């Protein structure tokens, strides 16, 4: 039994995320976790809310609530939505947890002992109108690299270039909008990433199976321009992990907290410790190579904007600590999902957000479309036309139609039990050969985290059943040879639980419906398709399920298109 540690990039606490956020990290991570569990492997699937830093403070202020209260409420909201999408986290933690506070401070001490933290007195943006230093994300302006007008003080979301506030053209305060900014002196802690450059470079070079998207972004940050720079890991904020604490090897950091991008990845470890404290499990066997984690395969899922921090900053923290922590084995990164010719926009109400999606249709409809169109090799685009076609053709016409046709036919001719009689012939042997080949290909794609290819192979497996049923035509055979029609029906009915098990990582609710209809709790993976096709014997009872997937009408599609088009400027 293999052991898989799986983490999804932790979403910011400030509000409900859109479908692009979902398919960029949490959903593919859930797919992989469900698949590995189905294969009998041990899985630890961890996520959390990212609760520190500027976004939390700004969102709480806008909501008129204390930041701690706001974060607690939004964690519940995000956890409920994750449950609605059937995201099977073993634990959904909080970066504001006591475990993360303690662990973040522990890493800071270890890095200081290794000579990898230095104190820097620097000038930072101070807003006279706001009466405070402005952390990087409190400042916006035009990116000097690509001209994007809403670049933040730490990074441009358009071109992903790492920035400092002073780099921005026409900077302004996000809080007040004031442009009356000046540089003032303040002292901060810096992680000496530059001292880790060669180790990080060698480590990234050793990851020969990483996606090109992941390694190209990491290499760009390592080698473009002046190369990997030291990074400030504290900020002048009140909400976060305090930078001055008992046992800290520095003074004068009162009123400062660790930068959110320093403590947020550490929450992966801390969230596992939260799980441990809650369940009595052993978190260290997942994270410490001296406590059993040496045989763990660790996979991270994230959007491309998060790649620099997970290939450089977090590994610098792990390696620099000098302690036996588990490093990531594979980083699956994604491009962006755009919405109908543009970007998702909260402010303009443009695009579908996770809570809205669940109000319209059940989770499986969204899961299937998003995963089968995952933005792996390039940016992808959501359109209502494409969504409608995919749901209607893949889910309703192929999978749903197969289940409906064979259960209704069998019920009408033989009753609600698998019928006896008949034998297999060349057509059945050809089906077994095709399914065996396709299931092995599906497994290979899933192991490689090639999500769109896996979805395509799964659909082809559904199609094979439909084509068999159409060619075998038990409704015609029944007129002259009822026993042979029974054999066809019995084989086809046995396909339903096979489809359920194979499909469960993508569409878990439909999979449960199929298993319930066939009155079986057997979730064995179809290693031997011939044996799986006889798993339910003659006489085994079944029920005819309600419509597995309904079609999306043109009128619905048009109404949703208008509803989510957003306000035009």
Q: Do domains 3-104+259-372 and 116-196+206-235 have the same CATH topology?
A: no
Q: Is pLDDT above 90 for 133?
A: no
CA distance 136 to 234: 11
Element (DSSP H or E) covering residue 126: strand 117-127
Comparing C-alpha atoms, which of 532, 498, 525 is closest to residue 514? Answer: 498
CA distance 541 to 329: 46
pLDDT confidence of residue 141: 95
Buried b / exposed e along 356-372 (16+ C-beta atoms within 10 A): bbbeebbbbbbbbbbbb
Domain map (residue ranges) of the chain: 3-104+259-372, 116-196+206-235, 384-532
Element (DSSP H or E) covering residue 296: strand 296-303
pLDDT confidence of residue 20: 94
CA distance 81 to 92: 12
Helices (H), 280-362: 284-287, 307-308, 314-320, 354-360
CA distance 442 to 38: 13
pLDDT digits (tens, 9 = 90+) for 180-199: 999 899 999 999 999 999 99
Q: How sure is the predictor about 513, in pLDDT bands with cuts at 50, 70 and 90?
A: very high
Candidate CATH numbers 3.40.1400.10, 3.50.50.60, 2.170.220.10, 1.10.1060.10; the one for domain 116-196+206-235 = 2.170.220.10
Candidate CATH numbers 3.40.50.620, 3.20.20.70, 1.20.1260.10, 3.30.70.20; the one for domain 3-104+259-372 = 3.40.50.620
Distances (CA, A) of 351 to 83, 357, 534: 21, 10, 46
pLDDT confidence of residue 132: 83
CA distance 419 to 538: 5
Q: Are 108 and 189 in contact (CB under 8 A)?
A: yes
Phi-psi region of 147 (alpha: psi -120 to 50; beta: other; left: phi over 0): left
Q: Which tokens is 188 given? A: 């901060």
pTM: 0.92
Element (DSSP H or E) covering residue 68: helix 67-84
The residues, any chain, with a CB within 8 Å of residue 184's CB and separated by 6 or more, are 123, 124, 126, 133
Of the chain, the percentage scoring pLDDT greater than 90 comes to 87
DSSP result, 153-188? SSB-TTT--B--GGGSEEEEETTT----EEEEEEEE
Q: Is pLDDT above 60 for 122?
A: yes
- Average confidence (pLDDT) over 397-421: 97
pLDDT confidence of residue 431: 98
Element (DSSP H or E) covering residue 443: helix 426-447
pLDDT confidence of residue 409: 98
pLDDT confidence of residue 345: 85
Q: Is pLDDT above 90 for 282?
A: yes
Mean per-residue pLDDT of the chain: 95
Q: Which tokens is 540 given? A: 């085994």
The annotation places the binding site for Zn(2+) at 143, 146, 156, 159
- Average confidence (pLDDT) over 316-340: 96
The residues, any chain, with a CB within 8 Å of residue 99's CB and separated by 6 or more, are 270, 271, 273, 274, 277
DSSP result, 97-125? SHHHHHHHHHHHHHHHHTT-EEEEEEEEE
pLDDT digits (tens, 9 = 90+) for 519-529: 999 999 999 99
The CATH number assigned to the domain with range 384-532 reads 1.10.730.10
Residue with tokens 């976004």: 55
DSSP state of 345: B
Helices (H), 354-416: 354-360, 363-372, 384-390, 401-414
CA distance 160 to 429: 53
pLDDT confidence of residue 278: 96
Least confidently predicted of 173-182, 484-493, 504-513: 173-182
The annotation places the binding site at 143, 146, 156, 159, 346
pLDDT digits (tens, 9 = 90+) for 34-52: 999 999 999 999 999 999 9
pLDDT digits (tens, 9 = 90+) for 148-179: 999 999 889 889 888 888 899 999 998 889 99
Q: Is pLDDT above 60 for 552?
A: yes
CA distance 228 to 194: 5
The annotation places the binding site for ATP at 346
Of the chain, the percentage scoring pLDDT greater than 70 comes to 100
pLDDT confidence of residue 569: 41
């Amino acid at each position: 039994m293999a052991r898989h540690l799986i983490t999804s990039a932790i979403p910011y606490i400030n509000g409900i995320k859109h479908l692009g956020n979902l398919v960029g990290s949490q959903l593919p991570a859930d797919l992989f976790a469900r698949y590995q569990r189905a294969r009998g492997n041990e899985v630890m699937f961890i996520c959390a809310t990212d609760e520190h830093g500027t976004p939390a403070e700004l969102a709480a202020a806008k909501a008129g609530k204390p930041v701690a209260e706001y974060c607690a409420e939004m964690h519940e909201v995000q956890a409920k939505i994750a449950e609605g999408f059937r995201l099977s986290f073993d634990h959904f933690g909080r970066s504001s947890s006591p475990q993360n506070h303690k662990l973040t401070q522990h890493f800071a001490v270890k890095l200081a002992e290794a000579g990898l933290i230095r104190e820097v007195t620097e000038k930072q943006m101070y807003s006279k109108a706001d009466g405070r230093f402005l952390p990087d994300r409190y400042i916006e302006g035009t990116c000097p690299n690509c001209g994007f007008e809403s670049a933040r003080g730490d990074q441009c979301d358009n071109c992903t270039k790492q920035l400092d506030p002073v780099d921005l053209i026409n900077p302004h305060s996000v809080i007040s909008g004031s442009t009356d900014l000046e540089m003032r002196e303040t002292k901060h802690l810096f992680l000496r990433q530059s001292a880790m450059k060669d180790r990080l470079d060698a480590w990234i070079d050793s990851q020969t199976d990483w996606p090109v998207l992941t390694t190209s972004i990491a290499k760009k940050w390592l080698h473009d321009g002046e190369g990997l720079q030291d990074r400030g890991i504290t900020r002048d904020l009140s909400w976060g992990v305090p930078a001055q604490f008992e046992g800290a090897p520095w003074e004068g950091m009162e009123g400062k907290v660790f930068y959110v991008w320093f403590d947020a990845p550490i929450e992966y470890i801390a969230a596992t410790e939260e799980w441990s404290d809650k369940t009595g499990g052993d978190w260290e066997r997942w994270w410490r190579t001296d406590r059993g984690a040496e045989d763990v395969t660790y996979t991270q899922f994230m959007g491309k904007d998060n790649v620099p921090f997970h290939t450089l900053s977090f590994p610098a923290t792990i390696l620099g600590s000098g302690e036996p922590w588990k490093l990531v084995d594979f980083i699956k990164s994604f491009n962006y999902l755009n919405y109908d010719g543009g970007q998702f926009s909260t402010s303009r109400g443009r695009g579908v957000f996770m809570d809205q999606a669940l109000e319209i249709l059940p989770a499986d409809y969204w899961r299937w479309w998003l995963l089968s169109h995952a933005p792996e090799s390039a940016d992808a685009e959501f359109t209502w036309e494409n969504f409608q076609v995919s749901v209607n053709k893949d889910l309703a016409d192929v999978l749903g139609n197969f289940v409906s046709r064979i259960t209704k036919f069998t019920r009408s001719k033989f009753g609600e039990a698998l019928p006896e009689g008949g034998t297999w012939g060349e057509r059945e042997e050809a089906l077994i050969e095709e399914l065996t080949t396709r299931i092995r290909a599906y497994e290979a794609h899933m192991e490689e985290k090639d999500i769109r290819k896996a979805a395509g192979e799964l659909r082809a497996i559904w199609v094979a059943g439909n084509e068999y049923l159409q060619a075998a035509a038990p409704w015609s055979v029944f007129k002259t040879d009822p026993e042979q029609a029974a054999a066809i029906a019995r084989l086809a009915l046995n396909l339903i639980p096979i489809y359920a098990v194979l499909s469960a990582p993508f569409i878990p609710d439909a999979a449960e419906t199929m298993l319930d209809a066939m009155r079986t709790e057997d979730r064995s993976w179809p290693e031997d398709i011939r044996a799986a096709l006889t798993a339910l014997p003659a006489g085994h009872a079944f029920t005819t399920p309600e419509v597995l997937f309904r079609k999306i009408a043109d009128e619905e599609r048009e109404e949703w298109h208008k509803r989510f088009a957003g306000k035009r400027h």
